Structure 1
Amino acid sequence: MPRTSRWTGDPVWIADVLRAEGVDLVEYPGWRGRGHGDFEDIRGVMVHHTGSDYATAASIANGRPDLDGPLSQLHIARDGTVTVVAAGVAWHAGVGMYPWLPTNMGNWHLIGIECANSGTSISAPHRRSWPDAQYLALVRCCAALNRRLGQTSSRTIGHKEYAGRAQGKWDPGAIDMDTLRADIEARIGTITDTAPTPRPPVPVGGYADVLMFRGVEGPQVAELQRRLKYAYASYAGDLVVDGVYGPQTEAAVREFQRRTAGLKVDGIVGPATAAALRLTIVTPAALPDSRAV
């Protein structure tokens, strides 16, 4: 049944909902316990292509040398087989923004779908090199998820719509998102009482592209650690400036957030926390990319 409030927590119901929609479903071993922590609330679905026609569900579940999996919640093969690989947060969205999402927080609010497809090219017409079985499976998955969440197809977005400006992403290539949303809406049917559309805060100036969390490494993390260590020595004075966002850095960030009015205590440095810290921006190379594309 459609929900009339936002879903909070992990979507452990994914397999049941997709199977009821008639997709050819495979459950990857351990998917219910796989993820980088728990969702905050689920506001929609994000669609990607993997960049290769042959990318496997295992590659999405297990990740790659520079990034631990899962890299999305679902994988769709070219023959239309859908594999659910994770119920928890996946690294698929990265830096970006969309009207009903907190800036840079897509991973914690969107179910990601990776389609094994090269994307063809940025300018390719709709569905060029997308087999019918794969495209129709994508429509069914998005419709089933949006319907379960009490959402219309407007809550399905492409990675390019969220991260195109920040990262230059163009996936899913050869997919016109308005056409895809129309096909999804036709399958969803009527939802009489949709979940409310969230209204996130406006991005904070020059900090709009900041996103750091546990596992991220680089000079921007070192600058964060330096700022915490020397400006907030009472609780972060022992922090090691090593450029690795580990548990001590996360704990210091949480403490800063607890002591600062208006910040969410989640251990994640996004635009609002960075602005409150008056963090010096070092280089875009320090920011995590969207991954898995």
Structure 2
Amino acid sequence: MAKPMTAVQVLAAMKLWDVPYKQWPGWTTRGRDPEHGPFSDVHGLVIHHTGSDIGQSDDYLDFLATRGKPGLPGPLCNAATDMDGDLWLIAQGRANHAGEGSSATLNHVINEDYAGFKTELKPGPDNIDGNAAYYGNEVRYDGGQPMTAKQYAAVTRWAAAICHFHGWSALSIIGHREHTGRKPDPGSCPMNKFRTDVAALLKAGPPKATKPPVTPSPPKEDDMPLNDADKKWISDEIQRYAFWTQIYDLMMVDEKAAAQEAYEQEYAARKAAGATDVVAKAAAASKAAAIVQPAIAAMLKAQKEI
């Protein structure tokens, strides 16, 4: 059992795992109406397929995100993966993707106690609402043949990113047909192989795992060596700016431009005044972070109030 990831956490995980993601407008606050059921605890991921190779348009993404269909309004997934390998973030909240399905399957997912690397699960009777328990990814292909190589790489890396965040193994991933006997999803994708491939990614670890920060040393030509307090300030400012730029994609275009301009101007001014490169970069990072941090904080506050 785990709390659903916030939009900021999703973005950080996508970047950490080098997922080729794009953001569909409004995804950070999109989810099913609360009166239709909570999205308070999640247990795993469901892989779907759209059943068509031609549904690669923006109009189809709008269908998945907002329009839905009669009796089944959007969002219809949390993410969607194109044949060219682009993975779209569609909804941060609960989505109408799994529907009714097997509690027996869910129990296996929760306990991670089945032979999922050798075979697929056979679902029991439909007796639970899967929308409340699973994240969902709609793979945009017809399912009659394997996914494209880029598509498969994107969706397995997305699954690894979510599992890594929650501390789950690849046994927390199922195909829609393992949730309910009503569905054939995700088509020509053996889920035992899919789980095996995700397990290999998890074992290798995230490709962009951060290394422990190293306090920068002043250049040799600096005739005024930095003391410990100076070094700590430099390290703190660079790390602070690095953290806020991890969620840079949430910002508006004007705010991004202002932060970048502040960084460049401060860096140039410090260098012109004779500062070493590392001191100039730290001062520039401090100026830019002063713009980035409140902008993101205000956005997150507004999101909570919606």
Structure-1-length-normalised TM-score: 0.57
**1:218-251 superposed Cα distances (whole Å, 9 cap, x missing partner):** xxxxxxxxxxxxxxxxxxxxxxxxxxxxxxxxxx
Tell me the residue number matched to 1:116: 140
CA apart distance, 1:106: 1.2
Compare CA radii of gyration and give the structure with the larger one: 2
Tell me the residue number matched to 2:153: 136
| Structure 2 CA distance for aligned equivalents of residues 39 and 154 of structure 1 | 21
Q: Indicate which of 3, 7, 16 corresponds to 2:2.
A: 7
CA 1:109–1:61 in structure 2 vs 1: closer, same or farther (change >3 Å)? same
The letter of the residue matching 1:71 is: L
Tell me the residue number matched to 2:262: none
CA apart distance, 1:99: 3.9
Tell me the residue number matched to 1:155: 172
The letter of the residue matching 1:159 is: H
CA apart distance, 1:53: 1.5
| Structure 2 CA distance for aligned equivalents of residues 133 and 73 of structure 1 | 19
How many pairs were matched up?
176
1:172 aligned onto 2:186? yes
Tell me the residue number matched to 2:69: 65
1:26 aligned onto 2:22? yes
CA apart distance, 1:44: 0.6
CA apart distance, 1:10: 4.8
After the TM superposition, which segments of 4 or more aligned residues of structure 1 sit over 3 Å from their partners? none
Percent identity, aligned pairs only?
Answer: 31
CA apart distance, 1:16: 2.0
| Structure 2 CA distance for aligned equivalents of residues 35 and 53 of structure 1 | 26
CA 1:86–1:71 in structure 2 vs 1: closer, same or farther (change >3 Å)? same
CA apart distance, 1:95: 1.3
CA apart distance, 1:54: 2.8
Tell me the residue number matched to 2:162: 145
Tell me the residue number matched to 1:51: 51
CA 1:104–1:95 in structure 2 vs 1: closer, same or farther (change >3 Å)? same
**1:117-173 superposed Cα distances (whole Å, 9 cap, x missing partner):** 1111xxxxxxx3411000111110111111111100000000000111xx2x11000
Tell me the residue number matched to 2:96: 91
CA 1:45–1:57 in structure 2 vs 1: closer, same or farther (change >3 Å)? same
CA apart distance, 1:8: 1.8
CA apart distance, 1:189: 1.7
The letter of the residue matching 1:7 is: A
The letter of the residue matching 1:148 is: F
**1:175-223 superposed Cα distances (whole Å, 9 cap, x missing partner):** 00000000000001279xxxxxxxxxxxxxxxxxxxxxxxxxxxxxxxx
SS at 2:15's partner residue? helix
Structure-2-length-normalised TM-score: 0.54
| Contact persistence 1:10–1:39 (CA under 8 A) | no
| Contact persistence 1:25–1:84 (CA under 8 A) | yes
SS at 2:47's partner residue? strand
Higher helix share: 2
CA 1:54–1:19 in structure 2 vs 1: closer, same or farther (change >3 Å)? farther
Tell me the residue number matched to 1:183: 197
The letter of the residue matching 2:101 is: G
CA 1:22–1:10 in structure 2 vs 1: closer, same or farther (change >3 Å)? closer
Q: How large is the Cα RMSD of the aligned pairs? A: 1.9
SS at 2:160's partner residue? helix
| Contact persistence 2:157–2:198 (CA under 8 A) | yes
1:74 aligned onto 2:98? no
Superposition map of 1:228-267 within 5 A: none
Unaligned runs of 5+ in 1: 1-5, 121-127, 192-293
| Contact persistence 1:15–1:27 (CA under 8 A) | no
